[in-house]
């Protein structure tokens, strides 16, 4: 380590300090003149004005990380258990809750700094061979094995069909289904459900049939808005009472080929409001 004292200035790893206290982390500054922007990117300075610069030798404020030639200028903020009054007005902390947020103390309470986090928006569909996913008569069953089309926040598990709320809020759910063609029992129904936390029915939607019909398709749609707390889950499931004779139960009408007429009838959309 090289330490230099020049006219009251202290330089570490440099013979050419540019401030009252100057550390050249990479020892790449020139012996004469000012370092370039790229050379400053690893420098630390403390100026006579009491300003500190990281990646810049010309800090304009008490702590300045605005290096001109570096994209790695993020600052890390952690949390604290201190009260807002103990921390004092102007203190800043990070809170790892509801997707993460920054708070500032006003001397009395911790206030959230306004931010716009990426909201959860799930678009999924069933993309499998026709009649693959079956539902036994009078046995409620989760709809699984979705093909995920859009999930910017990675809050949806397409295999299980379970969505986990990233933060407290209102979530609007749209679930559509379509069973394969077949006889439908008289006075029967298909109940689509939105399940909360694995076992609580949050929403029910009913498709009913008054009399026995010729072979037909049973389809429906369920749309609702649900309040979820961070970490709570929802998923879709079906209870069919239209077919008690088909071995293995009535299957969903589906296909793996977009151009096939069976494709695209079973969909799930979840939108954070």
pLDDT tens sequence across 91-112: 999 998 877 889 999 999 999 9
Rounded CA-CA distance 181/162 in Å is 28
Helices (H), the chain: 37-40, 84-87
pLDDT(6) > 60: no
Same-domain status, 47 and 136:
no
End position of a domain, from candidates 24, 40, 64? 64
Burial class (CB within 10 angstroms; exposed 0-12, middle 13-18, buried 19+) of 26 = exposed
Same-domain status, 263 and 209:
yes
Q: Domain span at residue 138?
A: 121-272
Same-domain status, 177 and 210:
yes
**Out of 50-59, 90-99, 128-137, 223-232, which region has the weakest mean confidence (pLDDT)?**
90-99
Query: How far lies 41's CA from each of 14, 47, 59, 61, 69, in Å?
Result: 14, 17, 13, 17, 7
Q: Is the pTM of this model over 0.85?
A: no
Rounded CA-CA distance 263/185 in Å is 25
Same-domain status, 138 and 250:
yes
Higher pLDDT, 134 or 214: 134
Same-domain status, 44 and 83:
no
Q: Indicate whether 70 belongs to any domain.
A: no
Same-domain status, 261 and 146:
yes
pLDDT the model gives residue 114: 82
Rounded CA-CA distance 215/255 in Å is 20
Q: Indicate whether 69 belongs to any domain.
A: no
Rounded CA-CA distance 273/253 in Å is 31
Per the structure block, which two tokens stand in for 11? 């330089």
Same-domain status, 89 and 172:
no
Rounded CA-CA distance 248/239 in Å is 14
């Amino acid at each position: 380590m090289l330490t230099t004292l020049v006219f009251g200035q202290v330089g570490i790893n440099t013979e050419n300090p540019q401030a009252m206290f100057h550390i050249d982390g990479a020892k790449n500054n020139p012996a004469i003149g000012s370092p370039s922007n790229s050379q400053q990117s690893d420098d630390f300075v403390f100026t006579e004005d009491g300003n500190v610069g990281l990646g810049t030798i010309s800090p304009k404020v008490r702590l300045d990380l605005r290096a001109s030639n570096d994209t790695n200028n993020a600052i890390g903020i952690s949390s604290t258990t201190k009260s807002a009054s103990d921390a004092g007005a102007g203190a800043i902390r990070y809170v790892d809750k509801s997707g993460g947020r920054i708070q500032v103390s006003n001397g009395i309470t911790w206030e959230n700094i306004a931010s716009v986090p990426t909201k959860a928006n799930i678009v999924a569909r069933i993309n499998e061979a026709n009649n693959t996913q079956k539902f036994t008569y009078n046995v409620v069953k989760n709809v699984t094995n979705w093909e995920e089309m859009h999930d910017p926040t990675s809050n949806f598990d397409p295999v299980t069909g379970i969505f986990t709320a990233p933060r407290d809020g209102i979530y609007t759910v749209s679930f559509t289904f379509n069973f394969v063609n077949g006889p439908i029992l008289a006075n029967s129904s298909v109940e689509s459900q939105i399940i909360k936390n694995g076992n609580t029915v949050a929403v029910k939607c009913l498709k009913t049939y008054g009399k026995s019909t010729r072979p037909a398709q049973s389809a429906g749609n369920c749309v609702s808005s649900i309040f979820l707390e961070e970490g709570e889950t929802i998923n879709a499931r079906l209870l069919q009472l239209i077919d008690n004779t088909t071995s293995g139960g009535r299957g969903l009408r589906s296909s793996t080929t977009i151009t096939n007429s069976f494709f695209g009838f079973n969909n799930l959309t979840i939108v954070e409001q």
